[in-house]
Structure 1
Amino acid sequence: MEKATISPKFQVVIPRSVREKLNLKPGQQVQVIPYENRIEFIPLRPPQEMRGFLAGMSTDFQRDPDRL
């Protein structure tokens, strides 16, 4: 488990192993979400990277009768 320290300016350095595993780049934005008793950082990806990520997803499912 990695750990980080909050600086007096409330800055946090993401450990190298985590940056490399998630392929984070300098200047990349992350979404910060407080969740219960923790903080989650979610890397934001440019729309170009999102293209086609749902390809092959099955859309065959039963809808509720009031949703037709």
Structure 2
Amino acid sequence: METAKISPKYQVVIPKKLRDALKLSPGQKVQMIMYDNRIEMIPLKKISEMKGFLKGIDTTVTREPDRV
């Protein structure tokens, strides 16, 4: 688990280990969501970078009767 400190200007530095793992770059935007009692940061990506990310997904999921 990584930790970060909030600066007097309410800025947070994302630890290098996490930046590298998520391939974050300077200027990249992240969506911040409050979930229960925590903050989740989700890196935003261009739609062109999303091509093929669902490749191999199992689409044989049984739907609920009212959704068929």
TM-score (norm 2): 0.80
Partner of 2:17: 17
Write the distance in 1 (CA, Å) between the matches of 2:2 and 2:20. 13
TM-score (norm 1): 0.80
Shift of 1:17: 0.9
The change in CA–CA distance for 1:54 and 1:7 in structure 2 (over 3 A counts) is same
Ranges in structure 1 where 5+ consecutive residues have no aligned partner: none
Number of residue-to-residue matches in the alignment: 68
% identity of equivalent residues:
59
Q: How does 1:1-68 map to 2 (within 5 A)?
A: 1-68=1-68
RMSD, aligned α-carbons: 1.6
The CA deviation string for residues 1-54 of structure 1, in whole angstroms up to 9 with x for no partner, is 211111111110001111111111000110100111111001111111111222
Residue 12 of structure 1 aligns to a residue whose secondary structure is coil
Bigger Rg over Cα = 1
Corresponding letter in the other structure for 1:43? P
